[in-house]
């Protein structure tokens, strides 16, 4: 059995954490679907910033958007939506075959809105309508304002990928907001089948602590947080509240493991993928991690079997690190990093327009 088949047997979907117009044009995304079983795609401001800055594929479209009088931000969204429409169409057969569980692509609202709930709600509804693809997730960060927005956006019928979650506690806040949104739809007699995923970031934990914990705990914190959060995910699904909503037609909000590319060159490059294989989850991988896992990845035991070990290691790490404080810091740093990437992205768009006009 291939490594890809092993993940599918466990019950985990493989998504690619990348999109560029060049990857669409040269058929790479299509090959990922047919050769590696990739069943979805995620994007973020950093990915799009690199895509626009490092390719000429967007130049004409950006100049055209400028000539139509679009703002720099709207010019970006026009080309991003074009890309994601194409990607959504590639994944549409998977979306139909899985009854909406897989086959998704994701577009993030402006990171500048991370602390403004109402503007996030308005932007999410608008972007989803503009894209005109039912298999498009709108990404909303798990900030305090974002959590408030998630409930309203789900209640409005817009699928959501909750991003920038780091801890089990942050995950639970996001998941509860999702199910509250579904509950509102049920109470209003609306279709409860509005899908969502909750994206837990893994590698940034270890980048933050590897130089502060003993060597035998290097590259273990992200895995332990992932396993702990998966246990909370399972407990929430088994609760009478969520089970009751599911019985009325609500989808299960799957847990998505993000930031699963290994940053430590001395560690196994497929470590996070192998350690976080679990039923009813998604792993969204950068290209190099996908290719590495397809080449030599192995899944020897499901994540569920390792919960006790994860709890013990978390306790060991907690002797050196204030984990709740670090979780909040990682969320704040992630928010600021995406804002920085957003500003670079808009600068790249302006530069493309100026040099191509």
Give the pair of three-digit tokens for residue 353.
């327009």
Whole-angstrom Cα distance, residue 260 to residue 272? Answer: 6
Contact (CB, 8 A) for 41 and 106: yes
Contact (CB, 8 A) for 219 and 210: yes
Helix H segments across 188-306?
203-209, 221-238, 240-247, 271-275, 287-296
Whole-angstrom Cα distance, residue 351 to residue 341? Answer: 15
Nearby residues of 101 by Cβ (< 8 Å), 6 or more positions away: 13, 195, 251, 254
What are the start-end ranges of the E strands in the chain? 12-16, 38-41, 105-108, 136-141, 160-165, 196-201, 254-258, 281-285
In the β-sheet with 160-165, what is the strand arrangement from edge to edge? 38-41, 12-16, 281-285, 254-258, 196-201, 160-165, 136-141, 105-108
CA–chain centroid gap for 328, Å, is 18
Nearest to 141, CA basis, from 165, 123, 124: 165
Query: For the chain, what is the largest distance between any 2 Cα atoms, rounded to a whole number of angstroms?
Result: 60
Contact (CB, 8 A) for 282 and 232: no
DSSP 104: B
What are the start-end ranges of the E strands in 30-152? 38-41, 105-108, 136-141
Whole-angstrom Cα distance, residue 293 to residue 271? Answer: 9
CA atoms 28, 29, 35, 41: torsion sign: positive
Q: For residue 74, what are the β-bridge partners? A: none
Residues designated catalytic: 139
């Amino acid at each position: 059995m291939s490594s890809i088949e092993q993940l599918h047997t466990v019950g985990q979907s493989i998504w690619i954490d990348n999109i560029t117009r060049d990857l669409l044009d040269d058929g790479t995304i299509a090959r990922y679907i047919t050769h590696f079983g990739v069943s979805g795609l995620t994007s973020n401001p950093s990915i799009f910033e690199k895509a626009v800055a490092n390719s000429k594929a967007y130049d004409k479209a950006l100049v055209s958007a400028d000539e139509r009088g679009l703002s720099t931000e709207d010019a970006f969204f026009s080309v991003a939506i074009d890309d994601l429409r194409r990607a959504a169409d590639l994944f549409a057969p998977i979306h139909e075959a899985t009854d909406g569980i897989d086959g998704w692509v994701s577009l993030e609202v402006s990171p500048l809105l991370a602390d403004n709930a109402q503007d996030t709600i308005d932007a999410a509804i608008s972007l989803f309508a503009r894209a005109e693809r039912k298999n498009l997730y709108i990404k909303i960060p798990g900030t305090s304002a974002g959590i408030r927005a998630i409930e309203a956006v789900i209640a409005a019928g817009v699928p959501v990928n909750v991003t920038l979650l780091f801890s089990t506690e942050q995950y639970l806040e996001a998941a509860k907001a999702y199910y509250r949104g579904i509950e509102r739809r049920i109470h209003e007699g609306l279709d409860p089948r509005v899908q969502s995923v909750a994206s837990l970031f893994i590698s940034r934990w270890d980048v933050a602590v590897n130089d502060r914990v003993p060597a035998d705990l290097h590259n273990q914190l992200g895995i332990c947080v992932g396993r702990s959060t998966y246990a909370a995910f399972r407990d929430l699904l088994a609760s009478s509240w969520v089970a009751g909503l599911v019985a009325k037609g609500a989808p299960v909000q799957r847990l998505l493991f993000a930031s699963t590319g290994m940053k430590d060159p001395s560690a196994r490059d497929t470590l996070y993928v192998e350690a976080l294989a679990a039923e009813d989850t998604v792993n969204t991988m950068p290209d190099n991690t996908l290719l590495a896992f397809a080449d030599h990845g192995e899944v020897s035991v499901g994540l569920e079997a390792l919960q006790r070990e994860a709890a013990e290691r978390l306790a060991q790490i907690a002797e050196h690190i204030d984990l709740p404080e670090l979780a909040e810091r990682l969320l704040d740093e992630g928010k600021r990093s995406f804002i920085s990437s957003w500003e670079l992205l808009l600068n790249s768009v302006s530069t493309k327009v100026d040099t191509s006009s």
